Structure 1
Amino acid sequence: MNLKVTEYILDKNKWTQELKLLRSALQELPLEEDIKWGIPAYLYKGKNIIGMSAFKNYCGLWFHQGIFLKDENKLLINAQEGKTKAMRQWRFNSLKDIDVELVKSYALEAIDNAEKGKAIKPQKNKTPIIIPQQLQNELDSNSLLLEKFDSFSLSKQREYVNYLIEAKRETTKQKRLEKIIPMILKGIGLHDKYR
């Protein structure tokens, strides 16, 4: 048992019983339990298969490649229509909504799909990175900063660039720039703590 998952479940007072039941069903399957993105995650041979989480009005399971599930019972939804391509969500509003055998059958099908290699891979963002002038000035004046920034993957560089561009006010941009310079110098990606 993963202690962090136990802590997560116990912290979700309203949904503790539902999460415990879902967890017990998933633990009977050949899945490895972990925490990813701050929520319980269930992996098969290193691949993300299912996530489990609780919100204000429901708790649920996320099937990372849920689009490939048959879903004959029409239980899965795309929680972010237009954004999410592969992930599908199964929501529960109470303990009586959880059919353990059905949860296991969906999970086993997801594992089987992973074995068969069924997956939609994230699309690489091919848009060129346009570095904001404030960051470019810092990169031009600090060779170590430039070296560290250039060593990042394009996705990490894009995270920093977007973080600056999304700020509306100049004072916010400046504060963000001051925040990220030490992170870049340490070789830390903006969202590394969530990975």
Structure 2
Amino acid sequence: MQPHSNHNAVDLYLKDGCGRCSLYKTSDCKVHLWQNELRHLRTLVLECGLTEELKWSIPCYTYKGNNILLINAFKDNCTLSFFKGILLKDPYQILDKPGENSRIVRLIRLDKQTNFQALRSKIKEYIFEAMEVEEKGLKVDLDKAPEQPIPEELDTVFIRDPAFKAAFYKLTPGRQRGYLIYFSAPKQSKTKASRIEKYTSHILNGKGFHDN
């Protein structure tokens, strides 16, 4: 496949950085810490036939107009992130979640100990599978049951107020998960309880966390 690339924009990214912090155009910019790895990833991705663009100030690769993956630089590693990574089979167990609450995106991390050449063909398999996912028009089911554990404070309210519990479980799985993430975030129990109390009427009225 012939690569398609917005070379000027991505060349500038590799030369100067992403421009999203004060380290832009300095030797301390994270992009400069991972020059070789980013260039290797870029070459590999383009060999797979994806179109290269610059979105959100970082290289983004698309297939038939749809976002497939990003390459990005961080302090301790650089990454190749798949927008629909949850749909990939991950036969080599090299995909990670970007964060604890990430539902869809999965990424491959490269650090200074990574043997890129040993991973090269495997990464290509993942890219081609991601392209196939897009070709088939596969979608991520965002209403999948929430994986977030129920905090003890919420469970206590459920026991005390069955009507509230029933209202919570009438919400869509996506709304349930949004509340669970928000309620579980504080370290202190009293803060969790306060958040639950604040949104009790929302839940009883069938509203999601972001609904007015």
Give 1:105 deviation, angstroms: 1.0
What aligned pairs does 1:35-46 form with structure 2 within 5 A after superposition?
A: 35-46=54-65
Q: 2:14 aligns with which of 9, 24, 42?
A: 9
Deviating beyond 4 angstroms after TM superposition, the runs of 4 or more aligned structure 1 residues are none
Residue 95 to residue 31, structure 1, CA distance change in 2 (3 Å): farther
Amino acid at match of 1:75: I
2:121 matched to 1:101?
yes
Residue equivalent to 1:71: 90
Does the 8 A contact of 1:17 with 1:95 survive in 2? no
Give 1:72 deviation, angstroms: 1.2
The higher-RCO structure (CA 8 Å, 6+ apart) is 1
Does the 8 A contact of 1:86 with 1:119 survive in 2? no
Residue equivalent to 1:25: 44
| Post-superposition CA distance 1:47-83 (Å, at most 9, x none) | 100100001110001000000111111111111222x
| SS in structure 2 at match of 1:22 | helix
Amino acid at match of 2:135: E
Residue 69 to residue 31, structure 1, CA distance change in 2 (3 Å): same
What aligned pairs does 1:36-185 form with structure 2 within 5 A after superposition?
A: 36-82=55-101, 84-94=102-112, 96-98=114-116, 99-120=119-140
| SS in structure 2 at match of 1:112 | helix
Does the 8 A contact of 2:87 with 2:140 survive in 1? no
Residue 92 to residue 45, structure 1, CA distance change in 2 (3 Å): same
CA distance in 2, matches of 1:87, 1:119: 13
Does the 8 A contact of 2:85 with 2:106 survive in 1? yes
Give 1:96 deviation, angstroms: 4.0
> TM-score w.r.t. structure 2 length?
0.54
Give RMSD over aligned pairs: 1.7
| SS in structure 1 at match of 2:52 | strand
Give 1:121 deviation, angstroms: 6.7
Amino acid at match of 2:54: I
Give 1:118 deviation, angstroms: 1.6
Amino acid at match of 1:29: C
Give 1:14 deviation, angstroms: 1.1
* Gapped regions of structure 1 (runs ≥ 5): 124-195
> TM-score w.r.t. structure 1 length?
0.58
